[in-house]
Amino acid sequence: MLALVLAGCWDREEPDEIGIVSMAAFDLDEDGEQFEVGVQVANPLGAGGEEVGVGVEKEHIWVVDATGQTVYEAVQNLEILSTRKLDWSHVEVMLLSEELARRGIRPVLDYLDRERQARLITRPLVVEGDLRKLLEMEFPLEVLGGDALSKHLLHEKTSKVRNLLIDFKPGFYFGL
């Protein structure tokens, strides 16, 4: 009898109930007092470029950002904006603003360490300039920006994207 009660999918999530985050960006707001978190979420309705309704084509990605006093609060504010639960297990690239990297990324790493879905192989990149532009950037041969940036770095190709990135310095990792 106990086996029947304990077995099953008590924490299952259906694919149509989650939003898969492929790329995340962490920054400070203009005042430098709050954290700003932006994500690129795969939109399954737009993946095939199919029309939804009469002549309306859905985008294949959704970019959204939110702010908060802590990284955790900013992520919770993102969840409020989404109709789906955000799934962080497929994040390929983590973008960090240059300003945040100079101040220290310990709060971001603390959040990612506590977030059970975060992967240890996510590539951290310090970016000079507007993170949102990179989140919204289209890549001709890839559907998701996180996959594209990851492949660019893996193959070490020179491209327009590499010009947006600056070297990730180990001292920034520990907030030194």
pLDDT for residue 176 is more than 50: no
Is the torsion defined by CA of 141, 146, 147, 151 positive or negative? positive
Q: Where is pLDDT greater, at 124 or 121?
A: 124
pLDDT band at 4; cut points 50, 70, 90: low
Q: What is the pLDDT of residues 37-82, one digit of tens each?
A: 999 998 776 555 445 444 445 577 889 999 999 999 999 999 999 8
User: C-alpha angle 111/112/113, rounded to 5°?
Assistant: 90
Residues in the chain: 176
CATH for 18-45+58-169 is 3.30.420
Q: Average pLDDT in the 92-100 region?
A: 91
Give the count of alpha carbons within 13 A of 25, CB side only.
Answer: 28
pLDDT band at 150; cut points 50, 70, 90: confident
pLDDT for residue 173 is more than 80: no
CA–CA gap between residue 32 and residue 100 (Å, rounded): 9
Partners of residue 95 on adjacent β-strands: 25, 125
CA–CA gap between residue 60 and residue 52 (Å, rounded): 12
pLDDT for residue 153 is more than 90: no
pLDDT for residue 145 is more than 80: no
Q: Where is pLDDT greater, at 8 or 93?
A: 93
Among the listed residues 114, 111, 127, 38, the one whose alpha carbon sits nearest the alpha carbon of residue 70:
111
